[in-house]
Amino acid sequence: MPKKSRKMRLTERHVEYLQPLDLAEEMPPPPEGYHAATPEDHQRTIAELFAREGEMGEVWIFAYGSLIWRPACDFVEMRTGLVRGWHRAFCLGWNNRFRGSDENPGLMLALDRGGACKGVLYRLPPDRIEECMTQLLEREMAWLPSAFPPRWVNARTGDRTIRALTFCIDRNSGRYVSGLSVERIAEVLATAVGSRGSMAEYLFATVRHLEEMGIHDPHLWQLQSLVADRIEAAYEPDG
C-alpha cells in the first residue's frame, strides 16, 4: 500500500493572511558593491561553467528550493537526487523586496556546506542549453557578484551519479546569514512579505512539493509547523 502522506500544519489558509505588498515590480538598485547583471555577464558565466567541465552530453540542474515548484526554464526529464557535502538552509539574507520589506526582510534558501540534501534534478533540452541556462541565470543571478554562485556538484540518483549545476552560498558574501535559532527563522518566515508574496508561501510551496515527491526535510517540516503556530497567534488569537 502507498505510504500515507503527512499532513502539513501550514496550509493555504495561513498563507492567505499574508498578501503581497503593493510595490512596483522594478528591480531595486543593487546594494553598494554590486551591479545588475548584463546579458554579457550571463554569457561569460555560462562559458566559464562549461569550460570547467569540458564536453557534456547532458546538462542537469539540481533544485532544492523554489526551482522545484517554479522552474526557471523548460526541461525534458526530472528525477529526485541526493547531493552530499551541502545542505538546504535559510542562509541567504536579507530579502527586502520580493519576499520581504525593510521592516520585515525575508530569508531565502541556498545550499550551505555540510550534511546532505535531497532535491530534484532537471535535465535541460539538449538543443536549447544556452537559452535555458540564460533564463536560469537571469532569475538566480540578477546582481553580481552573486551571493550564491552556480557550481557543479555530484548528485546521486538511482544507480547513477550525475554532474549537476546548483547554487551554493558564498560564506564570504555580505548576504550570508548563520547562527539563527529555528525559532528566529520561523519568526522571519511568518512575517516577511514582499511584492511577490510571503516567506510563508515560499516555505509552504517548497515543503508541499518536496513531500509530494517523497522527500522529507525534517528542518523544513519543523519550520512549517512553527510558522503556522505564529500566523495563527497573530491572525486567529481567539481560535
What positions carry a catalytic annotation? 140
Distance (Å, whole) CA 203 – CA 99: 11
Q: Where are the beta strands (DSSP E) in the chain?
A: 35-36, 60-63, 77-95, 106-123, 143-144, 150-157, 160-167, 193-194, 197-198
Q: How far is CA 199 from the centre of its chain?
A: 11
Cis, peptide link before residue 94, omega less than 30° from 0 = yes
Distance (Å, whole) CA 200 – CA 206: 10
Distance (Å, whole) CA 38 – CA 36: 6
Cell 541565470 -> residue: 137
Strand 77-95 vs strand 150-157: parallel, antiparallel, or unpaired? antiparallel
Q: Which three cell numbers stand for residue 44?
A: 561569460
Cis, peptide link before residue 145, omega less than 30° from 0 = yes
CB atoms within 10 A of CB 76: 12
Angle (deg, nearest 10), helices 182-191 and 218-235: 50
